[in-house]
Amino acid sequence: MSQNADQHYIEAVINGDTRAFSVLVDRYKYMVFTLAVKILKSQEEAEEVSQDVFVKAYTALSTFKGDAKFSTWLYKIAYYQSLDYLKKQKRTLNTSSIDSDTEFHLASAENALDSLEADERKLAIKSAIDTLAPDDAVVITLHYFEELSLKEIADIMKLEANTVKVRLFRSRKRLALLLKNKLEPEILATYGRK
Amino acid sequence: MEENKELDDFIRRSIKATGLENPSIDFTDSVLSKIKLANEQESVMVAKPLFSKTTWFLILAAVVAVFSYVFMAKSTAESTWLAAIELNKLTSFNLSLYIPELYSSSAFVYGSIAITLFVWIQVFLLQQRLHKSDALG
């Protein structure tokens, strides 16, 4: 989404038009909610936290300088609001300890996916992402879905760009392996039914 | 390198295919009503100062005026009603002549100090606790 398209609504909100904020909410609620789900692993909690993210963004909108994209600024709030929620619940963010030398075979993961129906495939990928550590799921979602650069992700998560790069590399491998392991038994079961 | 690129494409395609999570249908309305509520609370909570800036200025002006009058009009304000109060008597006044002697044991003194100390610590702890619950609420 272009920054100019957001800027018009941001200015309207700052000038007192609360309704204009609903356009921004509608535009970004899916990504904010997805990030919260990835971290909190609960739809109900993610719903509550996401709503608070937008309320917080609304009250702090006048401090948004426009140096970064509005979306990046918002995702940063979402990320930290979710972490704060975990902290209040006395839960911690599980980070992964992935062996980067884990063996995987792309072809087998891809073949496994191809043999599934579209809906099943979607579900399989989704549950594989859910198995990732929250931080890795966030990195993967921001990079592959939102197409954010490593620098932008680093800015959101307050990490070094290089750290994000390593995490992305590992998560990618891990995800492929998870998909392969997850799908192979299902495919065998499908063959069994045929 | 080639495999990395393939893996990258594969993950991208897979992630895009799953789409994003969907929040509840009334998500936007809930956010807007929360904002409305926050705005209302904010307007209720705006505290009006007990003294306005003008009142403070008038008080300051009055204090300055009184002090300046006292210093400037020193010579003319002597030997009138102030002398009639006989403030100089106060210097020779000894309170201990009028009240019976108070005796307190050292146990009483230590006890009083300990109680004062405990009350003070409790006030401090309660204050901390209230602040904490305010911050959470």
pLDDT tens across B84-109, in order? 777 777 777 777 777 777 777 889 99
- In a domain, residue B117? The reply is yes
Query: In chain A, what are the domains?
Result: 3-88 (1.10.1740.10), 106-193 (1.10.10.10)
Distance separating the N- and C-terminal Cα atoms of chain B = 53
Q: Which of A21, A110, A172 sits opposite B35 (nearest CB)?
A: A21
Q: Where are the alpha helices (DSSP H) in A41-160?
A: 43-59, 70-88, 106-114, 118-131, 134-140, 150-157
CB < 8 Å to B34, chain A: 51-52, 55
Residue with the larger pLDDT of the pair B78 and B33? B33
- Indicate whether B111 belongs to any domain: yes
Residue B133 lies in a domain: yes
Give the residue on A whose Cα is nearest the Cα of B10: A110
Q: Is residue B59 part of a domain?
A: no
Q: Is the separation of the CB atoms in B23 and A184 below 8 Å?
A: no
* Contact across the interface for B24 and A59, Cβ inside 8 Å: no
Choose among A83, A188, A109, A14: nearest CA to B10. A109
Q: Which residues of A touch B36 (CB under 8 A)?
A: 18
Q: How far apart are the first and last CA of chain A?
A: 45
- Mean of the per-residue pLDDT values of chain A: 81
Percent of chain A scored above 70 by pLDDT? 78
Length of chain B: 137
Structural domain boundaries, residue B136: 102-137
**d(C-alpha A152, C-alpha A74), whole Å:** 12
CB contact under 8 A, B27 and A121: no
Count of domains forming chain B: 1
Does residue A47 contact residue A33 with C-beta atoms inside 8 Å? yes
What is the pLDDT, as a whole number, of residue B62? 95
- Whether residue B89 is contained in a domain is answered as no
Say whether pLDDT at A104 is over 70. no
Q: What is the pLDDT of residues B10-41, one digit of tens each?
A: 888 888 888 888 899 999 999 999 988 888 87
Which residues in chain B are closer than 8 Å to A18, comparing Cβ atoms? 32, 35-36, 39
Q: Please write the tens of the pLDDT for every residue from A135-192.
A: 888 999 999 988 899 999 999 999 999 999 999 988 888 888 887 777 666 655 555 4
